[in-house]
Chain A
Amino acid sequence: MNGAGIIQGMIETARNFAGSYHDPERLTTVQYPEEKLPPVENARTIPFLVYDGGDAMAGLRCTACTICEKECPPQCIYIIKDLAKKPDYVGKMQLQPKVFDIDMSVCMSCGICVEVCPFDAIKMDQVFELSTSDRFLGLLFHKEQLAKPNGYFSQLHKTEAAEIDARRHEDKRKAEASAAARAAAAKPLPPGGVK
Protein backbone atom coordinates (compact mmCIF):
# COMPACT_ATOMS: atom_id res chain seq x y z
CA MET A 1 0.00 0.00 0.00
CA ASN A 2 1.35 3.37 -0.88
CA GLY A 3 2.35 5.29 2.18
CA ALA A 4 3.08 2.20 4.27
CA GLY A 5 6.65 3.28 4.82
CA ILE A 6 5.60 6.68 6.06
CA ILE A 7 3.05 5.17 8.43
CA GLN A 8 5.67 2.81 9.81
CA GLY A 9 8.04 5.73 10.37
CA MET A 10 5.33 7.58 12.21
CA ILE A 11 4.72 4.56 14.43
CA GLU A 12 8.39 4.66 15.41
CA THR A 13 8.17 8.34 16.20
CA ALA A 14 5.03 7.78 18.26
CA ARG A 15 6.77 5.00 20.15
CA ASN A 16 9.64 7.29 20.98
CA PHE A 17 7.30 10.09 21.96
CA ALA A 18 5.20 7.94 24.28
CA GLY A 19 8.29 6.21 25.62
CA SER A 20 9.90 9.47 26.60
CA TYR A 21 7.39 9.82 29.40
CA HIS A 22 8.47 6.73 31.28
CA ASP A 23 11.62 5.25 29.73
CA PRO A 24 14.93 6.94 30.54
CA GLU A 25 16.37 5.45 27.34
CA ARG A 26 14.06 7.60 25.28
CA LEU A 27 14.42 10.87 27.13
CA THR A 28 18.11 11.59 27.27
CA THR A 29 18.15 15.36 27.57
CA VAL A 30 20.02 16.78 30.55
CA GLN A 31 18.63 20.19 31.43
CA TYR A 32 21.89 22.08 31.75
CA PRO A 33 22.58 24.29 33.81
CA GLU A 34 20.04 23.09 36.35
CA GLU A 35 21.25 19.51 35.95
CA LYS A 36 24.83 18.62 35.22
CA LEU A 37 26.32 15.34 34.14
CA PRO A 38 28.70 13.83 36.67
CA PRO A 39 32.34 14.30 35.70
CA VAL A 40 34.29 11.40 34.29
CA GLU A 41 37.64 10.52 35.82
CA ASN A 42 39.75 10.87 32.71
CA ALA A 43 38.15 14.03 31.33
CA ARG A 44 40.44 16.91 30.47
CA THR A 45 39.80 20.56 29.77
CA ILE A 46 42.57 22.90 30.95
CA PRO A 47 45.86 22.26 32.75
CA PHE A 48 46.69 23.26 36.29
CA LEU A 49 49.75 23.08 38.52
CA VAL A 50 49.81 20.78 41.53
CA TYR A 51 51.26 21.77 44.89
CA ASP A 52 51.78 19.70 48.01
CA GLY A 53 51.18 20.92 51.49
CA GLY A 54 49.57 24.19 52.46
CA ASP A 55 51.66 26.86 50.76
CA ALA A 56 50.95 27.10 47.05
CA MET A 57 54.25 28.66 46.03
CA ALA A 58 56.56 26.73 48.33
CA GLY A 59 54.95 23.35 47.67
CA LEU A 60 54.70 23.73 43.88
CA ARG A 61 56.01 20.61 42.20
CA CYS A 62 57.06 22.44 39.04
CA THR A 63 60.83 22.82 38.61
CA ALA A 64 60.72 25.04 35.51
CA CYS A 65 62.38 22.44 33.30
CA THR A 66 60.37 23.99 30.39
CA ILE A 67 59.73 20.63 28.74
CA CYS A 68 56.00 21.39 28.65
CA GLU A 69 56.70 24.77 27.08
CA LYS A 70 58.71 23.18 24.30
CA GLU A 71 56.25 20.35 23.61
CA CYS A 72 53.05 22.41 23.75
CA PRO A 73 51.74 22.35 20.15
CA PRO A 74 50.14 25.83 20.07
CA GLN A 75 52.90 27.26 22.30
CA CYS A 76 50.59 28.66 24.95
CA ILE A 77 52.87 28.15 27.99
CA TYR A 78 55.36 30.81 28.99
CA ILE A 79 57.92 30.12 31.72
CA ILE A 80 60.63 32.27 33.26
CA LYS A 81 62.91 30.42 35.64
CA ASP A 82 63.64 31.74 39.10
CA LEU A 83 67.26 31.08 39.93
CA ALA A 84 66.62 30.76 43.67
CA LYS A 85 66.35 27.03 44.30
CA LYS A 86 64.06 25.29 46.73
CA PRO A 87 64.06 21.71 48.02
CA ASP A 88 61.57 19.25 46.55
CA TYR A 89 59.80 16.37 48.31
CA VAL A 90 62.94 14.23 48.61
CA GLY A 91 65.07 17.14 49.72
CA LYS A 92 66.91 17.73 46.43
CA MET A 93 67.35 21.38 45.46
CA GLN A 94 65.38 22.26 42.34
CA LEU A 95 64.72 25.43 40.36
CA GLN A 96 61.27 26.98 40.40
CA PRO A 97 59.28 29.07 37.98
CA LYS A 98 59.16 32.82 38.55
CA VAL A 99 56.54 33.25 35.83
CA PHE A 100 54.32 30.42 34.59
CA ASP A 101 51.60 31.70 32.27
CA ILE A 102 49.18 29.63 30.24
CA ASP A 103 46.91 31.34 27.75
CA MET A 104 43.72 29.32 28.02
CA SER A 105 42.24 30.87 24.89
CA VAL A 106 45.07 29.24 22.91
CA CYS A 107 45.26 25.99 24.88
CA MET A 108 43.66 23.16 22.96
CA SER A 109 43.35 20.67 25.84
CA CYS A 110 45.51 18.08 24.14
CA GLY A 111 47.20 17.00 27.39
CA ILE A 112 50.68 16.69 25.88
CA CYS A 113 52.12 18.92 28.64
CA VAL A 114 50.81 16.40 31.18
CA GLU A 115 52.28 13.45 29.31
CA VAL A 116 55.78 14.87 29.06
CA CYS A 117 56.11 16.39 32.54
CA PRO A 118 58.71 14.36 34.47
CA PHE A 119 57.67 15.71 37.86
CA ASP A 120 53.86 15.15 37.87
CA ALA A 121 53.60 18.89 38.32
CA ILE A 122 51.01 19.79 35.69
CA LYS A 123 47.74 17.90 35.38
CA MET A 124 44.47 18.31 33.55
CA ASP A 125 41.57 20.01 35.27
CA GLN A 126 37.92 19.44 34.44
CA VAL A 127 36.41 22.94 34.66
CA PHE A 128 34.90 24.22 31.47
CA GLU A 129 32.88 27.23 32.55
CA LEU A 130 35.67 29.68 31.85
CA SER A 131 33.87 32.48 30.05
CA THR A 132 35.03 35.95 30.90
CA SER A 133 34.17 39.32 29.51
CA ASP A 134 37.76 40.55 29.60
CA ARG A 135 38.94 40.17 26.04
CA PHE A 136 42.65 40.48 26.56
CA LEU A 137 43.92 39.16 29.86
CA GLY A 138 40.87 37.33 31.16
CA LEU A 139 42.04 33.93 29.95
CA LEU A 140 45.74 34.38 30.66
CA PHE A 141 46.23 32.30 33.79
CA HIS A 142 49.24 32.99 35.99
CA LYS A 143 51.03 30.72 38.42
CA GLU A 144 48.81 31.73 41.35
CA GLN A 145 45.61 30.94 39.47
CA LEU A 146 46.96 27.69 38.11
CA ALA A 147 48.22 26.26 41.41
CA LYS A 148 45.77 23.88 43.01
CA PRO A 149 46.38 21.51 45.92
CA ASN A 150 47.08 17.81 45.67
CA GLY A 151 43.82 17.09 47.47
CA TYR A 152 41.91 18.66 44.58
CA PHE A 153 43.89 16.56 42.13
CA SER A 154 43.04 13.39 44.09
CA GLN A 155 39.37 14.27 43.94
CA LEU A 156 39.45 14.65 40.16
CA HIS A 157 41.65 11.74 39.14
CA LYS A 158 41.48 9.24 41.96
CA THR A 159 43.46 6.33 40.60
CA GLU A 160 46.20 8.45 39.06
CA ALA A 161 46.64 10.53 42.19
CA ALA A 162 46.76 7.42 44.35
CA GLU A 163 49.53 5.96 42.17
CA ILE A 164 51.53 9.17 42.17
CA ASP A 165 51.18 9.62 45.92
CA ALA A 166 52.28 6.05 46.55
CA ARG A 167 55.33 6.49 44.34
CA ARG A 168 56.33 9.80 45.89
CA HIS A 169 55.89 8.34 49.36
CA GLU A 170 58.16 5.44 48.43
CA ASP A 171 60.79 7.77 46.94
CA LYS A 172 60.72 9.97 50.01
CA ARG A 173 61.07 6.98 52.31
CA LYS A 174 64.05 5.69 50.33
CA ALA A 175 65.68 9.11 50.31
CA GLU A 176 65.24 9.44 54.07
CA ALA A 177 66.59 5.92 54.64
CA SER A 178 69.68 6.58 52.55
CA ALA A 179 70.20 9.95 54.25
CA ALA A 180 69.99 8.25 57.64
CA ALA A 181 72.47 5.58 56.51
CA ARG A 182 74.89 8.24 55.30
CA ALA A 183 74.53 10.17 58.54
CA ALA A 184 75.21 7.00 60.53
CA ALA A 185 78.29 6.20 58.41
CA ALA A 186 79.65 9.72 58.86
CA LYS A 187 79.38 9.70 62.67
CA PRO A 188 82.81 10.12 64.31
CA LEU A 189 84.35 7.06 66.02
CA PRO A 190 83.72 6.85 69.80
CA PRO A 191 86.79 7.50 72.01
CA GLY A 192 88.74 4.38 72.82
CA GLY A 193 88.54 2.88 69.33
CA VAL A 194 86.07 0.42 67.82
CA LYS A 195 85.53 -2.69 69.89
Chain B
Amino acid sequence: MRASTSPPGCIGTDGEHTLLEVSMGPHHPSTHGVFRMDVTLDGETVVKLKPVFGYLHRNHEKIAEKNSYLGSMPYTDRLDYICSLTNNWGYALAVEKLTGLSVPERAEYIRVILGELTRLINHSALAGFLLQDMGALGTPLMYAFREREKILDLFESLTGARMMCNYMRFGGCRCDLPPGWIEQTRSVVSRFPSFLDEFESLLTGNEILQARTEGVGALPGRLAVNAGVTGPMLRASGINYDIRKVDGYGAYGRFNFRVPLGERGDVFDRYMIRILEMRESLKILDQALRDIPGGPIMDPKAKLRNLRPKPGEAYGRIEGPKGELGFYLISDGGPNPYRYRVRPPSLINLTILEDMCLGQTIADAVVILGSVDIVLGEVDR
Protein backbone atom coordinates (compact mmCIF):
# COMPACT_ATOMS: atom_id res chain seq x y z
CA MET B 1 0.00 0.00 0.00
CA ARG B 2 1.19 3.47 -0.78
CA ALA B 3 2.21 5.67 2.19
CA SER B 4 0.70 9.06 1.67
CA THR B 5 3.29 11.16 3.45
CA SER B 6 6.49 9.90 1.84
CA PRO B 7 7.55 11.37 -1.49
CA PRO B 8 5.96 9.67 -4.48
CA GLY B 9 7.80 6.65 -5.77
CA CYS B 10 9.77 5.66 -2.69
CA ILE B 11 8.74 3.55 0.22
CA GLY B 12 10.78 3.82 3.35
CA THR B 13 13.53 6.36 3.36
CA ASP B 14 15.52 4.68 6.14
CA GLY B 15 18.60 2.74 5.11
CA GLU B 16 20.10 2.68 1.65
CA HIS B 17 17.70 0.12 0.28
CA THR B 18 14.46 1.73 -0.89
CA LEU B 19 11.71 0.23 -2.96
CA LEU B 20 10.44 2.09 -5.98
CA GLU B 21 6.76 2.09 -6.76
CA VAL B 22 6.04 2.48 -10.44
CA SER B 23 2.65 2.74 -11.98
CA MET B 24 2.82 1.37 -15.51
CA GLY B 25 -0.15 3.51 -16.13
CA PRO B 26 -3.16 3.12 -18.32
CA HIS B 27 -1.62 5.00 -21.23
CA HIS B 28 1.22 2.72 -22.15
CA PRO B 29 2.16 1.22 -25.49
CA SER B 30 2.81 -2.22 -24.07
CA THR B 31 -0.16 -2.81 -21.89
CA HIS B 32 -2.53 -3.97 -24.63
CA GLY B 33 -5.18 -1.46 -23.79
CA VAL B 34 -6.02 0.73 -20.83
CA PHE B 35 -4.46 -1.45 -18.18
CA ARG B 36 -2.41 -0.38 -15.22
CA MET B 37 0.10 -2.31 -13.15
CA ASP B 38 1.26 -0.95 -9.81
CA VAL B 39 4.72 -2.49 -9.65
CA THR B 40 6.97 -2.27 -6.63
CA LEU B 41 10.60 -2.61 -7.59
CA ASP B 42 13.74 -3.39 -5.72
CA GLY B 43 16.28 -2.08 -8.19
CA GLU B 44 14.94 -3.71 -11.32
CA THR B 45 13.44 -6.76 -9.67
CA VAL B 46 9.71 -6.94 -9.18
CA VAL B 47 8.77 -7.32 -5.54
CA LYS B 48 5.03 -6.77 -5.78
CA LEU B 49 2.70 -6.31 -8.72
CA LYS B 50 -0.94 -5.40 -8.55
CA PRO B 51 -2.94 -5.17 -11.75
CA VAL B 52 -5.56 -2.43 -11.83
CA PHE B 53 -8.23 -2.32 -14.48
CA GLY B 54 -11.72 -1.04 -14.95
CA TYR B 55 -10.81 1.79 -17.28
CA LEU B 56 -12.86 0.22 -20.06
CA HIS B 57 -15.75 -0.96 -17.90
CA ARG B 58 -18.95 -0.36 -19.80
CA ASN B 59 -21.22 -2.54 -17.65
CA HIS B 60 -22.03 -4.77 -20.57
CA GLU B 61 -23.85 -7.14 -18.24
CA LYS B 62 -26.35 -4.50 -17.20
CA ILE B 63 -26.89 -3.34 -20.77
CA ALA B 64 -27.76 -6.92 -21.65
CA GLU B 65 -30.48 -6.92 -19.01
CA LYS B 66 -32.17 -4.04 -20.83
CA ASN B 67 -31.88 -5.49 -24.33
CA SER B 68 -33.46 -8.59 -25.74
CA TYR B 69 -31.36 -11.70 -26.34
CA LEU B 70 -30.74 -10.77 -29.96
CA GLY B 71 -29.91 -7.20 -29.04
CA SER B 72 -26.96 -8.34 -26.92
CA MET B 73 -25.34 -10.08 -29.85
CA PRO B 74 -23.67 -6.99 -31.33
CA TYR B 75 -22.43 -6.10 -27.86
CA THR B 76 -20.66 -9.43 -27.57
CA ASP B 77 -18.59 -8.47 -30.62
CA ARG B 78 -17.13 -5.69 -28.59
CA LEU B 79 -16.03 -7.82 -25.67
CA ASP B 80 -12.88 -9.32 -27.12
CA TYR B 81 -12.76 -7.00 -30.05
CA ILE B 82 -10.03 -8.86 -31.89
CA CYS B 83 -11.98 -12.11 -32.05
CA SER B 84 -15.58 -11.11 -32.47
CA LEU B 85 -16.87 -14.29 -34.08
CA THR B 86 -15.88 -16.57 -31.22
CA ASN B 87 -17.63 -14.24 -28.79
CA ASN B 88 -20.75 -14.49 -30.92
CA TRP B 89 -20.44 -18.25 -30.97
CA GLY B 90 -20.13 -18.51 -27.19
CA TYR B 91 -23.22 -16.42 -26.67
CA ALA B 92 -25.21 -18.28 -29.31
CA LEU B 93 -24.18 -21.56 -27.69
CA ALA B 94 -25.37 -20.37 -24.28
CA VAL B 95 -28.75 -19.27 -25.62
CA GLU B 96 -29.12 -22.50 -27.57
CA LYS B 97 -28.50 -24.44 -24.37
CA LEU B 98 -31.03 -22.28 -22.58
CA THR B 99 -33.75 -22.67 -25.19
CA GLY B 100 -33.00 -26.14 -26.57
CA LEU B 101 -32.57 -24.98 -30.16
CA SER B 102 -30.56 -27.19 -32.48
CA VAL B 103 -28.15 -26.04 -35.15
CA PRO B 104 -28.17 -27.51 -38.68
CA GLU B 105 -25.05 -29.19 -40.12
CA ARG B 106 -24.04 -26.51 -42.54
CA ALA B 107 -24.25 -23.83 -39.87
CA GLU B 108 -22.03 -25.91 -37.57
CA TYR B 109 -19.40 -26.23 -40.26
CA ILE B 110 -19.57 -22.52 -41.03
CA ARG B 111 -19.15 -21.79 -37.33
CA VAL B 112 -16.09 -24.03 -37.11
CA ILE B 113 -14.55 -22.40 -40.17
CA LEU B 114 -15.10 -18.91 -38.82
CA GLY B 115 -13.97 -19.94 -35.33
CA GLU B 116 -10.70 -21.33 -36.61
CA LEU B 117 -10.12 -18.31 -38.86
CA THR B 118 -10.63 -16.19 -35.77
CA ARG B 119 -8.08 -18.26 -33.91
CA LEU B 120 -5.63 -17.61 -36.73
CA ILE B 121 -6.11 -13.87 -36.61
CA ASN B 122 -5.86 -13.76 -32.86
CA HIS B 123 -2.67 -15.76 -32.65
CA SER B 124 -1.08 -13.77 -35.48
CA ALA B 125 -1.93 -10.54 -33.74
CA LEU B 126 -0.58 -11.93 -30.49
CA ALA B 127 2.72 -13.02 -31.98
CA GLY B 128 3.06 -9.62 -33.58
CA PHE B 129 2.25 -7.68 -30.44
CA LEU B 130 4.44 -9.84 -28.24
CA LEU B 131 7.39 -9.13 -30.49
CA GLN B 132 6.54 -5.48 -30.49
CA ASP B 133 6.58 -5.45 -26.68
CA MET B 134 10.04 -6.95 -26.87
CA GLY B 135 11.19 -4.07 -28.99
CA ALA B 136 10.95 -5.43 -32.52
CA LEU B 137 9.23 -2.17 -33.40
CA GLY B 138 6.65 -3.42 -35.83
CA THR B 139 8.28 -5.68 -38.41
CA PRO B 140 6.81 -9.02 -37.21
CA LEU B 141 3.62 -7.16 -36.35
CA MET B 142 3.19 -5.88 -39.85
CA TYR B 143 3.99 -9.24 -41.39
CA ALA B 144 1.37 -10.86 -39.17
CA PHE B 145 -1.12 -8.14 -39.97
CA ARG B 146 -0.57 -8.62 -43.67
CA GLU B 147 -1.96 -12.14 -43.30
CA ARG B 148 -4.61 -10.96 -40.91
CA GLU B 149 -5.90 -8.52 -43.50
CA LYS B 150 -6.64 -11.35 -45.91
CA ILE B 151 -8.79 -13.08 -43.32
CA LEU B 152 -10.51 -9.83 -42.39
CA ASP B 153 -11.39 -9.36 -46.04
CA LEU B 154 -13.00 -12.79 -45.96
CA PHE B 155 -15.04 -11.73 -42.94
CA GLU B 156 -16.11 -8.57 -44.67
CA SER B 157 -17.36 -10.36 -47.73
CA LEU B 158 -19.37 -12.77 -45.57
CA THR B 159 -20.62 -10.84 -42.59
CA GLY B 160 -20.38 -7.25 -43.75
CA ALA B 161 -17.85 -5.99 -41.24
CA ARG B 162 -14.21 -6.72 -40.59
CA MET B 163 -14.20 -6.63 -36.84
CA MET B 164 -17.69 -6.34 -35.40
CA CYS B 165 -19.17 -9.24 -37.27
CA ASN B 166 -22.45 -9.95 -35.45
CA TYR B 167 -22.90 -13.07 -37.54
CA MET B 168 -24.03 -15.96 -35.36
CA ARG B 169 -27.68 -16.26 -34.49
CA PHE B 170 -29.49 -18.54 -32.07
CA GLY B 171 -30.03 -21.70 -34.05
CA GLY B 172 -27.57 -21.02 -36.84
CA CYS B 173 -25.96 -18.20 -38.75
CA ARG B 174 -27.26 -14.93 -40.07
CA CYS B 175 -26.81 -15.42 -43.80
CA ASP B 176 -25.44 -18.02 -46.12
CA LEU B 177 -22.01 -18.02 -47.73
CA PRO B 178 -21.86 -15.87 -50.86
CA PRO B 179 -20.79 -17.65 -54.05
CA GLY B 180 -17.04 -17.94 -54.34
CA TRP B 181 -16.38 -17.52 -50.63
CA ILE B 182 -15.25 -21.11 -50.09
CA GLU B 183 -12.75 -20.83 -52.94
CA GLN B 184 -11.40 -17.56 -51.59
CA THR B 185 -11.04 -19.09 -48.14
CA ARG B 186 -9.30 -22.13 -49.55
CA SER B 187 -6.77 -19.96 -51.33
CA VAL B 188 -6.07 -17.93 -48.18
CA VAL B 189 -5.73 -21.07 -46.08
CA SER B 190 -3.46 -22.75 -48.62
CA ARG B 191 -1.03 -19.84 -48.52
CA PHE B 192 -1.01 -19.58 -44.74
CA PRO B 193 1.47 -22.40 -44.01
CA SER B 194 4.14 -20.70 -46.09
CA PHE B 195 3.52 -17.50 -44.16
CA LEU B 196 3.92 -19.42 -40.92
CA ASP B 197 7.18 -20.91 -42.17
CA GLU B 198 8.42 -17.44 -43.03
CA PHE B 199 7.32 -16.11 -39.67
CA GLU B 200 9.06 -18.90 -37.83
CA SER B 201 12.27 -18.52 -39.76
CA LEU B 202 12.11 -14.83 -38.91
CA LEU B 203 11.53 -15.33 -35.22
CA THR B 204 11.83 -18.74 -33.65
CA GLY B 205 15.55 -19.18 -34.11
CA ASN B 206 16.25 -15.61 -33.15
CA GLU B 207 18.67 -15.56 -30.23
CA ILE B 208 17.30 -12.32 -28.82
CA LEU B 209 13.82 -13.79 -28.66
CA GLN B 210 15.09 -16.94 -27.03
CA ALA B 211 17.15 -15.07 -24.48
CA ARG B 212 14.26 -12.85 -23.54
CA THR B 213 11.61 -15.51 -23.32
CA GLU B 214 13.14 -18.78 -22.21
CA GLY B 215 12.81 -19.32 -18.50
CA VAL B 216 10.82 -16.13 -18.08
CA GLY B 217 7.49 -16.26 -16.30
CA ALA B 218 7.37 -20.00 -15.74
CA LEU B 219 4.00 -21.20 -14.50
CA PRO B 220 3.72 -24.64 -12.88
CA GLY B 221 0.77 -26.74 -14.02
CA ARG B 222 -0.94 -27.25 -10.68
CA LEU B 223 -0.95 -23.56 -9.90
CA ALA B 224 -2.34 -22.85 -13.34
CA VAL B 225 -5.25 -25.25 -12.83
CA ASN B 226 -6.03 -23.88 -9.39
CA ALA B 227 -5.89 -20.32 -10.64
CA GLY B 228 -8.38 -21.07 -13.38
CA VAL B 229 -6.00 -20.38 -16.24
CA THR B 230 -7.28 -21.77 -19.54
CA GLY B 231 -6.36 -21.67 -23.16
CA PRO B 232 -2.89 -21.65 -24.65
CA MET B 233 -1.41 -20.48 -21.34
CA LEU B 234 -2.63 -23.61 -19.59
CA ARG B 235 -1.49 -25.92 -22.36
CA ALA B 236 1.93 -24.30 -22.32
CA SER B 237 2.24 -25.45 -18.72
CA GLY B 238 1.62 -29.02 -19.79
CA ILE B 239 -2.04 -29.55 -18.85
CA ASN B 240 -4.04 -31.16 -21.62
CA TYR B 241 -7.38 -29.38 -21.44
CA ASP B 242 -8.89 -28.09 -24.65
CA ILE B 243 -12.62 -27.48 -24.52
CA ARG B 244 -12.91 -28.37 -28.18
CA LYS B 245 -11.89 -31.91 -27.22
CA VAL B 246 -13.44 -32.07 -23.75
CA ASP B 247 -16.92 -30.73 -24.48
CA GLY B 248 -16.93 -31.48 -28.17
CA TYR B 249 -19.26 -28.58 -28.93
CA GLY B 250 -20.22 -27.76 -32.47
CA ALA B 251 -18.83 -30.03 -35.14
CA TYR B 252 -15.38 -30.39 -33.53
CA GLY B 253 -15.92 -34.08 -32.87
CA ARG B 254 -15.53 -34.78 -36.56
CA PHE B 255 -12.19 -33.18 -37.14
CA ASN B 256 -8.81 -34.69 -36.66
CA PHE B 257 -6.48 -32.34 -34.84
CA ARG B 258 -3.91 -32.50 -32.08
CA VAL B 259 -3.54 -30.37 -29.01
CA PRO B 260 0.00 -29.04 -28.62
CA LEU B 261 1.36 -29.03 -25.07
CA GLY B 262 4.30 -27.20 -23.61
CA GLU B 263 6.76 -28.25 -20.95
CA ARG B 264 7.94 -25.40 -18.82
CA GLY B 265 5.16 -22.88 -19.13
CA ASP B 266 7.43 -19.96 -19.81
CA VAL B 267 6.90 -17.22 -22.36
CA PHE B 268 8.72 -19.07 -25.11
CA ASP B 269 6.47 -22.09 -24.64
CA ARG B 270 3.39 -19.91 -24.82
CA TYR B 271 4.60 -18.29 -28.01
CA MET B 272 5.43 -21.65 -29.59
CA ILE B 273 2.09 -23.15 -28.50
CA ARG B 274 0.32 -20.41 -30.35
CA ILE B 275 2.31 -20.98 -33.51
CA LEU B 276 1.61 -24.71 -33.29
CA GLU B 277 -2.07 -24.05 -32.64
CA MET B 278 -2.18 -22.00 -35.80
CA ARG B 279 -0.90 -25.01 -37.72
CA GLU B 280 -3.55 -27.23 -36.13
CA SER B 281 -6.21 -24.68 -37.02
CA LEU B 282 -5.10 -24.86 -40.62
CA LYS B 283 -5.61 -28.62 -40.51
CA ILE B 284 -9.12 -28.19 -39.15
CA LEU B 285 -9.86 -25.57 -41.79
CA ASP B 286 -8.71 -27.86 -44.58
CA GLN B 287 -11.00 -30.59 -43.34
CA ALA B 288 -13.97 -28.31 -42.77
CA LEU B 289 -13.68 -26.59 -46.12
CA ARG B 290 -13.50 -29.93 -47.82
CA ASP B 291 -16.47 -31.49 -46.03
CA ILE B 292 -18.92 -28.63 -45.67
CA PRO B 293 -22.41 -29.85 -46.60
CA GLY B 294 -25.25 -27.96 -48.16
CA GLY B 295 -28.54 -27.32 -46.47
CA PRO B 296 -30.26 -24.74 -44.29
CA ILE B 297 -28.34 -22.47 -42.00
CA MET B 298 -30.96 -21.75 -39.35
CA ASP B 299 -33.04 -23.96 -37.10
CA PRO B 300 -36.62 -23.68 -38.41
CA LYS B 301 -37.92 -23.25 -34.86
CA ALA B 302 -35.68 -20.27 -34.21
CA LYS B 303 -37.23 -16.81 -34.04
CA LEU B 304 -35.45 -13.52 -34.50
CA ARG B 305 -37.77 -11.37 -32.47
CA ASN B 306 -39.51 -12.03 -29.17
CA LEU B 307 -37.43 -14.94 -28.02
CA ARG B 308 -38.73 -15.87 -24.58
CA PRO B 309 -36.93 -18.88 -23.12
CA LYS B 310 -38.53 -20.77 -20.27
CA PRO B 311 -37.28 -19.77 -16.82
CA GLY B 312 -34.01 -21.52 -16.07
CA GLU B 313 -30.31 -21.01 -16.47
CA ALA B 314 -27.53 -22.20 -18.75
CA TYR B 315 -23.76 -21.91 -18.98
CA GLY B 316 -22.30 -22.21 -22.44
CA ARG B 317 -18.55 -22.20 -22.97
CA ILE B 318 -16.21 -22.40 -25.93
CA GLU B 319 -12.48 -22.64 -26.42
CA GLY B 320 -11.85 -19.10 -27.49
CA PRO B 321 -8.44 -18.14 -28.77
CA LYS B 322 -7.57 -16.71 -25.36
CA GLY B 323 -9.05 -19.38 -23.15
CA GLU B 324 -12.43 -20.52 -21.93
CA LEU B 325 -15.03 -17.98 -22.88
CA GLY B 326 -18.24 -18.73 -21.04
CA PHE B 327 -21.67 -17.11 -20.97
CA TYR B 328 -23.98 -17.69 -18.03
CA LEU B 329 -27.62 -16.77 -18.61
CA ILE B 330 -30.54 -16.82 -16.21
CA SER B 331 -33.93 -16.41 -17.80
CA ASP B 332 -37.13 -15.50 -16.00
CA GLY B 333 -39.43 -16.12 -18.95
CA GLY B 334 -39.31 -12.59 -20.30
CA PRO B 335 -37.76 -11.26 -23.51
CA ASN B 336 -34.70 -9.90 -21.66
CA PRO B 337 -32.26 -12.05 -19.72
CA TYR B 338 -32.54 -11.81 -15.94
CA ARG B 339 -28.82 -12.23 -15.46
CA TYR B 340 -26.21 -12.27 -18.17
CA ARG B 341 -22.63 -12.95 -17.24
CA VAL B 342 -19.51 -13.22 -19.36
CA ARG B 343 -16.70 -15.37 -18.03
CA PRO B 344 -13.73 -13.52 -19.49
CA PRO B 345 -10.60 -15.63 -20.07
CA SER B 346 -8.31 -12.61 -20.07
CA LEU B 347 -9.40 -11.54 -16.60
CA ILE B 348 -9.02 -14.98 -15.06
CA ASN B 349 -5.64 -15.50 -16.71
CA LEU B 350 -4.47 -12.30 -15.03
CA THR B 351 -5.03 -13.80 -11.57
CA ILE B 352 -1.53 -15.22 -11.41
CA LEU B 353 0.21 -12.38 -13.19
CA GLU B 354 1.78 -11.34 -9.93
CA ASP B 355 3.06 -14.84 -9.16
CA MET B 356 4.63 -15.14 -12.55
CA CYS B 357 6.38 -11.79 -12.37
CA LEU B 358 7.85 -11.94 -8.87
CA GLY B 359 11.60 -12.07 -8.92
CA GLN B 360 11.86 -11.13 -12.58
CA THR B 361 12.93 -7.77 -13.92
CA ILE B 362 10.43 -5.18 -14.99
CA ALA B 363 11.28 -5.68 -18.64
CA ASP B 364 10.28 -9.30 -18.18
CA ALA B 365 7.00 -8.19 -16.62
CA VAL B 366 6.12 -6.51 -19.91
CA VAL B 367 6.92 -9.64 -21.87
CA ILE B 368 4.96 -11.84 -19.46
CA LEU B 369 1.96 -9.58 -19.74
CA GLY B 370 2.24 -9.80 -23.49
CA SER B 371 2.23 -13.58 -23.36
CA VAL B 372 -0.91 -13.71 -21.19
CA ASP B 373 -2.73 -12.21 -24.18
CA ILE B 374 -5.24 -9.85 -22.69
CA VAL B 375 -7.74 -7.67 -24.42
CA LEU B 376 -9.18 -5.00 -22.20
CA GLY B 377 -12.61 -5.15 -23.73
CA GLU B 378 -12.91 -8.61 -22.23
CA VAL B 379 -11.20 -7.93 -18.92
CA ASP B 380 -13.39 -4.96 -18.13
CA ARG B 381 -16.51 -5.70 -20.16
Contacts and interface: CB of A to CB of B under 8 A. Distances in A.
Contacts of A109: 161, 164
B305 interface: yes
B interface, size bucket: 35 or more
Interface in A71-126: 71-73, 108-112, 115-116, 124
Contacts of B153: 40
16 contacts: A5-B209, A8-B202, A9-B201, A9-B206, A12-B198, A12-B201, A28-B146, A40-B153, A40-B157, A42-B158, A43-B156, A43-B160, A44-B160, A71-B71, A73-B67, A109-B164
A44 B161 CA distance: 6
B1 interface: no
A42 B178 contact: yes
Contacts of B67: 73
B305 A71 contact: yes
Interface of B: 67-68, 70-75, 139, 143, 146, 149, 153, 156-161, 164, 166, 174-175, 178, 198, 201-210, 304-305
A13 B70 contact: no
Nearest to B167: A111
Contacts of A16: 143
Contact of A12 (B146, B156, B202, B207): B202
A190 interface: no
B160 A42 contact: yes
Contacts of B209: 5
A12 B143 CA distance: 11
Interface of A: 2-6, 8-9, 12-13, 16, 28, 40-44, 67, 71-73, 108-112, 115-116, 124, 159
Contacts of B202: 8-9, 12-13
Tell me whether chain B's interface is mostly helix, strand or loop, or mixed: helix
Contact of A110 (B74, B143, B198): B74
A44 B167 CA distance: 12
Contacts of B158: 42
A124 B160 contact: yes
A4 to B, nearest CB: 7
Contacts of B208: 6
A41 B157 contact: yes
A9 B203 contact: yes
Contacts of A108: 74, 164
B205 A73 contact: no
A110 B156 contact: no
Given A5-B204, A9-B205, 16 more contacts: A5-B209, A6-B207, A9-B206, A16-B143, A40-B153, A42-B156, A42-B157, A43-B161, A71-B68, A71-B71, A71-B305, A108-B74, A109-B164, A110-B73, A112-B70, A112-B166
A110 B205 contact: no
Nearest to B68: A71
A44 B159 CA distance: 9
B304 A116 contact: yes
Contact of B205 (A4, A41, A124): A4
